Chain A
Amino acid sequence: MTEFLQTIILGLLIGGVYALLASGLTLIFGVMNVINVAHGAFLILAAFVAYSLWTATGLDPLLSIAVTTPAMFAFGWLLYGGTIRRIRTAGPASSVLLTFALALVFEGVMGLVWGNTSHAIRPAYFNESFAIGDLFLPKAQVYGCLVAVGVLIGLYVFLARTWTGRAIRAAAVNPYGAALVGVNVAAVATMTFAIGVATTGAGGSIVGVLYPFLPGSHYQWISRLLGIIVLGGMGSLPGAVVGALLIGVGETLTTTYISPAWTTAVPYVVIFVVLLCRPQGLLGARLREDVAV
């Protein structure tokens, strides 16, 4: 029983981190109808940046998000203006292929800069745990989850309370309608992409602490994140949170009760099952497809 409880709690902790990582991906999809396949590569890039900051200055990776988040925001802004903006209206194939191409380019760049070996950020508290009765909660996971949830709440407040946030949500629901009531949809798209990429700034720092990583890790991450947003319903932010918690728990259960070797299969299986049985995901509404358009 303790083992089961422990497994569930660890799954929820990691699920909280996943929720932050998937939020940017689902936000970009919701507003722009673009699956940013390079999201995993950006995440690993942010992890490498946090790693370099940590080795150079000893700055705690969970504090360096104050640097990496704005840096990734600027990075996303520039990248959008330079590449993705040009194919916004060109259909799913173009955007998937372009972002996948970007993922490969950044995988290569990271390999050249940091090398293709496994890296890890190990702050002093890495091997420490909080003990609650029979349960023990690794400090790194607890801190990581808290930071992730904090950033996620910040994102939520931004979307719910600010004019820009409302403009983003409006553009997600109906870009034409939003344009008619004075929202500059092109600017909102740039902003959304930059915000989506900025979430990988915080996410990358946390991931760098919790997992070893190398440039090629981005495939595994993008698969996991795609599994999460497919499960939650593509484009739905609450869906991403629910999907992330379920996948987190699903992974820890698989690790404990089946085999760690099959943990990476969880998102793939989820993708197959969800798209086969309920293509709109858990919380994605199947909206009225206007057949006339």
Chain B
Amino acid sequence: MRRLIPRSRWGVVLALLWLALLLYPFASDDLFYQNMIILSLIFAIGATGLNIISGYGGYVSLGQSAFLGIGAYTVGLMSVRVDASPFVWVPLAGVVGALFAMGLGLVAMRTRGHAFVIITIAFLLLTQLVLLNWPSFTKGSSGLSLPLAQWDPAYQNWPFYYSLAALLAASVLLSWWIRRTKLGMGLVAMREDEDKAATVGISTPTYKMLGFVASAVPLSMAGGVYAYYLNFIDPRGMFDIVISVQIILSVLLGGRGTLWGPVLGAFIIEPLNEFANQSLGGGNSRLLIFGGLMALVVLFMPQGIVPAVGGWLERRRRRGEDAIVGARLESPLVMAEREAPVGHEVSAGRTLLEVKGLEKRFGGVRAVDDCSFAVPEGSITALIGPNGSGKTTVFNLIDGTMRPRGGEVWFDGRRIDGLRPWRRAHLGLGRTFQITRLFREMSVLENVVAPLRSFSWRQLNAGAVSGAERERAEELLEFVGMARYRDQPAKALSYGQQKLVELAQVLMLDPKLVLLDEPAGGINPTAIERMGEMIRELNRRGTTFLIVEHNMPFVLGLCDPVLVLARGTCICEGPPEVVHRDPRVLDAYLGEDYVHEEAVRA
């Protein structure tokens, strides 16, 4: 899907279809079919746009048709006031659409999932209501009449037809460009796991906002052309939620997240719409057809036509090949000889991370309560404590996934507790999760390339998987011993393999400090040994670690100093052999269990 036009026979088919589309008005003057194609183009523009935010970014909107109406009303309101060809106002329609998309983006900054869908419904219906209730400006429900087309009737609807075809071409190009750049990669990462995306340095609000604007502008411009084409617009017809449904249905049917799927879907849905209107009397049967079709697609073909066909062809092609997943891991000895591809200058004795009086409550539960500790630069520090003592919450407060109720976090000489997670990642703070959180639909290599060490506008335009970053990602995969799996989707990996890829992923940030949440949890002894080797090697090259772990032999053999957390506060710290014997620790945590375990072993 990286290529705009696939280099197979599908590419030839696509090119022929485009040619047929461009030549059709010369071949036939049947206005019924011209009209059908014009409306299909509008749906295709809408669907291609919606796909950017829904297919790539994972934000489903039921209010997308609002942008059609906003564009139509921009052109309509201008052309009844200024005597000029309504085409002049089409770019303005794009600008107004962009402004509304930003407004929606601002409101949606803190919402996702269900709340976001609700917002989009409210957005559509509220915009419609405002236009209805403001007759002095919009003529309310009686609608607006636009000037008639000025050109020679012999040209029929050609100017509409070709301007919409050009808009569709631009939309597809935009969608293609987004998908192959860092912007698209960030959107897909957000779809897979938005909080995780933030912790690997992706500035999610910026990405979200750009996605919204890109999804709204082409449809707003198409709405402007549409208004001129219709010559008459009213709020009920222009802000129709059924149009939103048809746009969504085009995306779903064709295949969300694909480049050409939404276009294919639109050219299926619009003719069906004409059929429902012409042969079945529209109205109720249109609702039954589109409601029924959407239910069927969601239930039985959620991935859509293009991925379904593509998957089927791929399976046919691959028949008989061996699966790579499940192959033997490389031995840890080979691994240990490899040099870690990251490194830092370390000044021994300096404090890299300091937490002062940190506090976090969940309702009445004090998960973290006046917690203070420091992590010396160049160390492998352990953070241990009984279950529920607040270790993971401390991690969440350090990396910014959660906001503390009080206290301070200092990192590398800066106070960071007010910064958003991606800013902390940019400063060199990496973090893995207790239960791995890879971007499941992305390949292993894409997962490792996804993290960003900084934010810049130019970077958005960079190829998603390219250049020096790609090489580095391959080095890191080599280092963790996962290079063979680079093209597998992350979801196909075993849990232990996911732990390794997640480690490579945070290393991509070139972090000064890595927070590891149970790196040895749930993986086999060989892999644990290997994990220890890698942490030592990385540490030797200058990376500082803070590790939460329950595997005591692992912690005590690897870490110095050891911090002990109990009831949300740091009760003790020191070298492992001291902490090991500290009565407070034995009491709080290592306590009876540990003594018992030792006794059994002895």
Residues of A within 8 A of B (CB): 29, 33, 35, 83, 86-87, 90, 92-94, 96-98, 100-109, 111-112, 116, 215, 219, 222-223, 226-227, 230, 234, 259, 261-262, 264-265, 267-269, 271-272, 275-276, 279, 285, 287-288, 291-293
Contacts and interface: CB of A to CB of B under 8 A. Distances in A.
Interface stretch (B117-125, B264-272, B306-314): B117-125
Contacts, number: 147
Contacts of A94: 298, 302
Given A268-B122, A287-B362, A90 B302 contact: yes
B362 A288 contact: yes
B209 interface: no
A262 B133 contact: yes
- Specify which of B125, B129, B291, B294 lies most central, judged by the most chain A CB atoms within 10 Å of its CB: B291
A116 to B, nearest CB: 7
Given A108-B284, A111-B284, A101 B117 contact: no
B284 A35 contact: no
Contacts of A288: 362, 365, 367
A96 B111 contact: no
A223 B121 CA distance: 8
A259 B290 CA distance: 35
Given A100-B245, A275-B119, A293-B435, 13 more contacts: A35-B114, A92-B60, A96-B60, A96-B114, A97-B248, A101-B295, A105-B291, A105-B295, A108-B285, A215-B284, A267-B122, A272-B119, A292-B433
A97 B291 contact: no
B295 A265 contact: no
A6 to B, nearest CB: 25
B115 interface: yes
A103 B245 CA distance: 12
21 contacts: A87-B298, A93-B58, A93-B60, A100-B62, A101-B295, A104-B245, A104-B287, A104-B291, A105-B295, A107-B284, A108-B288, A112-B284, A223-B121, A234-B115, A259-B133, A268-B126, A275-B110, A287-B362, A291-B433, A292-B433, A292-B517
**4 A-B pairs with least C-beta separation:** A104-B291, A108-B287, A111-B284, A105-B291
Interface in B162-202: 195
Contacts of A90: 302
A49 B122 CA distance: 28
Contacts of B434: 292
Nearest to B299: A86
Contacts of B1: none
Contact of A97 (B113, B121, B298, B517): B298
A118 to B, nearest CB: 15
Contacts of A259: 133
B557 interface: no
- Specify which of B54, B117, B434 lies most central, judged by the most chain A CB atoms within 10 Å of its CB: B117
Interface in B62-85: 62
Nearest to A269: B126
Nearest to A273: B107
B326 interface: no
Q: Is the interface of B mostly helix, strand, loop or mixed?
A: helix
B241 interface: yes
Given A112-B284, A268-B126, A279 B435 contact: no
Given A97-B248, A108-B285, A287-B362, A219 B117 contact: no
Nearest to B287: A108
Contacts of A272: 107, 119, 122, 126
Interface in B233-253: 241-242, 245, 248, 252
A90 B60 CA distance: 14
Interface in B109-148: 110-111, 113-115, 117-119, 121-122, 125-126, 129-130, 132-133
Could you say which interface size class chain B belongs to? 35 or more
Given A105-B287, A268-B129, A275-B118, A83 B110 contact: no
Contact of A291 (B58, B129, B293, B392): B392
A96 B252 CA distance: 13
Given A83-B295, A102-B291, A275 B107 contact: yes
Given A35-B117, A219-B241, A291-B195, A107 B287 contact: yes
Nearest to A265: B129
B287 A116 contact: no
Contacts of A264: 129
B320 interface: no
A261 B402 CA distance: 43
B401 A291 contact: yes
Contact of A116 (B195, B284, B402): B284
Contacts of A108: 283-288, 291
B467 interface: no
Contact of B115 (A98, A111, A223, A275): A275
A271 B118 contact: yes
Contacts of B283: 108, 111, 116
B35 interface: no
Given A112-B284, A272-B119, A98 B299 contact: yes
Contacts of B286: 108
B298 A279 contact: no
A230 B117 CA distance: 12
Contacts of B299: 83, 86-87, 98
A102 B155 CA distance: 43
A97 B122 contact: no
